[in-house]
C-alpha cells in the first residue's frame, strides 16, 4: 500500500490559536505510539495569526482513517472543536523523496 501525506489547515477562532495549538500538541502525544503514523508535525502559519498547518505522513490511508476512530484521538478532536472556526487542506499524493 502507498504512503499517505496530508497538509491540513486548522483555523482557530480569533485569538484562540495558542490554546488550540496546546490541545493539538497533546493530540500529537496521543499519536506518538500509534501504529502507522510516521510523523505529525504541527506548524504555525507565519502570515495568519489564527492558523495552524499540520504536516502528516502515514504508512497508508487506512492507518490514517483508523486513527480517526481511535477513542483517545476522538477525545482530542472533541476538545478542540469549540476552538476551531474552519478546517481545510491541500489535497496531495506523495510520489517519492527522502524520508518517504
Question: Rule CB under 8 A: is residue 87 a binding residue for a copy of itself?
Answer: no
* Per-residue interface string for the shown chain with a copy of itself, residues 4-23, x marking contact by CB under 8 A: -x-x-------------x--
Helix (H, G, I), strand (E, B) or coil at 99: coil
- In angstroms, the Cα distances linking 10 to 13, 19, 24, 44 are 10, 12, 10, 10
Among 42, 61, 63, 84, which residue interacts with a copy of itself (rule: CB under 8 A)?
42
Query: Residues 82, 88, 94, 97: what is their CA dihedral angle, to the nearest 10 degrees?
Result: -80
Q: Which of 1, 47, 69, 71 binds a copy of itself (CB under 8 A)?
A: 47
Cβ proximity of 42 and 52 under 8 Å: yes
* Interface positions with a copy of itself (CB under 8 A): 5, 7, 21, 24-25, 28, 31-32, 37-47, 53-55, 57, 90-100
Amino acid at each position: 500500500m502507498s504512503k499517505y501525506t496530508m497538509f491540513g489547515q486548522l483555523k482557530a477562532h480569533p485569538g484562540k490559536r495558542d490554546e488550540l495549538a496546546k490541545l493539538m500538541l497533546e493530540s500529537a502525544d496521543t499519536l506518538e505510539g500509534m501504529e502507522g503514523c510516521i510523523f505529525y508535525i504541527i506548524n504555525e502559519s507565519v502570515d495568519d495569526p489564527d492558523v495552524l498547518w499540520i504536516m502528516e505522513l502515514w504508512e497508508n490511508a487506512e492507518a490514517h482513517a483508523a486513527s480517526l476512530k481511535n477513542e483517545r484521538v476522538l477525545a482530542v478532536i472533541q476538545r478542540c472543536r469549540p476552538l476551531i472556526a474552519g478546517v481545510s487542506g491541500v489535497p496531495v499524493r506523495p510520489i517519492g523523496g527522502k524520508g518517504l
